[in-house]
Amino acid sequence: MATAIATESFDAVILGSGQAGKPLALALANAGWKTAIVERKFVGGTCINFGCTPTKTMVASARVAYLARRGADYGVKTGPISIDMKKVVARKQAIIERFRNYGQQKMEATKNLDLIFGAAKFVDARTVEIALRDGGTRRLSAPKIVINTGGRPNKPPIPGLADVPTLDSTSVMDIAELPKHLLVLGGGFIGLEFAQMYRRFGAEVTVLEGGPRLAPRDDEDVGEALQAILREDGLRIECGAQAERVEGKSGDITVFYKKDGKSLSVNGSHLLVSVGRKPNSEDLDLAAAGISVDKGGFVTVDDTLQTNVDGIFAAGDIKGGPAFTHISYDDFRILRDRWLNKLDARTNDRLVPNTVFIDPQLAQVGLNETEARKRGLNVRVAKIGMNGVARALETDESRGFMKVIVDAKSNQILGCTILGIEGGEIMSMLQIAMMGKLPYTVLKEAIFAHPTLAEGLNNVFLALDA
Ligand SMILES: Cc1cc2nc3c(=O)[nH]c(=O)nc-3n(C[C@H](O)[C@H](O)[C@H](O)COP(=O)(O)OP(=O)(O)OC[C@H]3O[C@@H](n4cnc5c(N)ncnc54)[C@H](O)[C@@H]3O)c2cc1C
């Protein structure tokens, strides 16, 4: 007869060591809660192991290649540029492991915290069972359970796709040779970051995007400018391209697609499938605890991150909505503040910025012009090219623009889109102004050190009044 597994009691159990789970586990344990965190693969989750950290590390290598090729523009002579992909991949891997090990060691050294490697699933609304990585099973119960299991790349049901070798956002970062011709299925932001990166490494790149334009959630001028920049960098971008069938073998893959009523095809050596992400919810046996999911499998929560089951919470990508590390981290803050600081923290009205790390960066916060007009708001909009910013001209990186949306009556900044060098940092300055409710007139007249990109804020708000 099999022996029953004893159930171990905790104050909180966290499933997944992503961008919410890890800091929450540390905060709860440091506050004296007996806490368990369960991770089935690597500490740090997607961001550190397969997302932000590795991509931005490789984007940095690609940018060096880009600037090295542009040496002559600055009066710097360079020899022929070649890329050592093995070194690029090794550099990326070293940074991942540094971040991952730091997180793991910190958790292992924390009192009251049990870091358990294994796959978790629910037994009931208070209990989870862990299939331990090194064999065996543990059962844990707690009055508070947090699901932070994130997501993974999606593979759409396109005929033939399952039968050809494909890359996803994880495996594409481990190919040690440069693809001759990389086909990218999906022109979303993850796809575009890889597309530009591999173009800069020297691959021919074709992006097939099903929608009518890039950046469909941004204003039309953003999509147009983005497309022009990427084309200038030598990428082939096909919007309105509906993939219908895929054929081929390693090194020789053809995507058949329809565009403007015509049947077309493109052949490449590698195919990166980058068409969204799926939640890691199926393996959790959520039904055993009665936890509701939406039709995409994302766990549904209220504005306190509580699921439909009392005591069970979800944080980060698993709950759907904008999939960013900073959202997952803010979910941690909400749970920490509610539980440890007894504050009424909630997810409503969060100002959610985002930056796409193509070069130049595309950064956005608050409302864009289309959204503001759709809401019928009385707004004023100003836009200047980055070629109106001295610093961008001096560094010869003046592609893109700054665009700001201001409430016509209150002079409050409602949002901005920055497509430009260090766009994420410029956007964050405007975000801080929005958080502090500074009227735009203050930034228009502010003394910024010359010559910084911040000076562009003077210029764009001057343009508003021109
Ligand atoms: C290529 C790429 C680039 C990105 N770039 C950016 C960027 O520049 N900026 C940005 O903000 N965001 C970026 N993101 C998104 C960002 O990585 C995610 O939004 C973020 O990591 C989500 O974190 P999370 O806390 O929801 O979960 P995750 O970080 O996904 O962690 C979930 C963890 O749960 C574990 N897990 C899953 N199931 C189980 C189970 N049953 N039992 C135990 N453990 C389990 C997983 O192994 C994983 O470690 C990028 C994503 C990708 C893929």
For each of the chain's 466 residues, which pLDDT tens digit applies? 556 789 999 999 999 999 999 999 999 999 999 999 999 999 999 999 999 999 999 999 999 999 999 999 999 999 999 999 999 999 999 999 999 999 999 999 999 999 999 999 999 999 999 999 999 999 999 999 999 999 999 999 999 999 999 999 999 999 989 999 999 999 999 999 999 999 999 999 999 999 999 999 999 999 999 999 999 999 999 999 999 999 999 999 999 999 999 999 999 999 999 999 999 999 999 999 999 999 999 999 999 999 999 999 999 999 999 999 999 999 999 999 999 999 999 999 899 999 999 999 999 999 999 999 999 999 999 999 999 999 999 999 999 999 999 999 999 999 999 999 999 999 999 999 999 999 999 999 999 999 999 999 999 999 999 8
Sheet arrangement for strand 262-268: 242-249, 252-259, 262-268
The pLDDT of residue 2:
57
Mode of pairing for the β-strands spanning 35-39 and 12-15: parallel
Say what angle helices 85-108 and 52-69 make with each other, to 10 degrees: 150
The C-alpha atoms of residue 315 and residue 335 are separated, in whole angstroms, by: 9
Q: Please indicate whether the domains covering 7-58+86-152+278-339 and 354-465 agree at the CATH topology level.
A: no
> With 0-12 CB in 10 A as exposed, 13-18 as middle and 19+ as buried, what is 287?
exposed
Ligand 1 centre and the CA of 46: distance in Å? 3
Contacts of 402 (CB under 8 A, 6+ apart): 383, 384, 386, 389, 416, 417, 418, 420, 426, 456, 457, 460
| Cα-based angle 180, 185, 188 (whole degrees, multiple of 5) | 115
Q: Which atom of ligand 1 is nearest to the CA of 19?
A: 25
Give the Å distance between the CA of 316 and the centre of ligand 1: 8
Say how far apart CA 247 and CA 162 lie, in whole Å: 10
**354-465 CATH, one of 3.90.1150.10, 3.40.50.300, 2.60.40.10, 3.30.390.30:** 3.30.390.30
Cα dihedral value 49, 50, 52, 58, nearest 10 = 100
Q: Measured from the CA of 325, which atom of ligand 1 is nearest? A: 11
According to the model, what pLDDT value does residue 1 have?
Answer: 53
pLDDT for position 205: 98
Burial class (CB in 10 A: 0-12, 13-18, 19+), 264: middle
Residues 6 or more apart in contact with residue 403 via CB below 8 angstroms:
219, 221, 222, 368, 369, 381, 382, 383, 416, 417, 418, 460
What is the model's pLDDT at position 34?
98
**How far is it, in rounded angstroms, from Cα 160 to Cα 248?**
9
Catalytic residue among 181, 270, 326, 450: 450
CATH architecture of the domain formed by 161-275: 3-Layer(bba) Sandwich (3.50)
Q: Please tell me the distance from the alpha carbon of residue 47 to that of residue 96, in angstroms, as a whole number.
A: 10
Give the residue whose CA is nearest to atom 12 of ligand 1.
324
Q: What is the DSSP letter of 122?
A: E
Q: How far is CA 352 from CA 42, 253, 349, 414, in A?
A: 27, 39, 9, 12
- For residue 403, the model assigns a pLDDT of 98
Residue 98 CB partners (closer than 8 Å, separation 6+)? none
Pocket of ligand 1 (CB under 6 A): 15-20, 38-42, 45-47, 50-52, 55, 119-120, 148-151, 169, 190, 280, 283-284, 316-318, 323-326, 328, 357
* Å from CA of 40 to ligand 1 middle: 13
Q: Where are the alpha helices (DSSP H) in 302-376?
A: 325-339, 369-374
Give the amino acid at 203: A
Using CA atoms, how far apart are residues 143 and 13, in angstroms rounded to an integer?
Answer: 8
The Cα 259–Cα 240 span in angstroms is: 6
Asked if 174 and 89 count as a contact pair (C-beta separation under 8 A), the reply is: yes
Distance 83 CA to ligand 1 centre (A): 29
Count, in order, helices (H) and strands (E) of the chain: 12, 22
Percent of residues in the chain assigned helix, strand, coil, to nearest 5: 35, 25, 40
Active site residue 450: yes
CATH of domain 7-58+86-152+278-339: 3.50.50.60
**414 neighbors 354 (Cβ within 8 angstroms):** no
Instruction: Give pTM, 2 decimals.
Output: 0.96
Sorted by where each begins, the domain ranges of the chain are 7-58+86-152+278-339, 161-275, 354-465
Nearest atom of ligand 1 to the alpha carbon of 283: 41
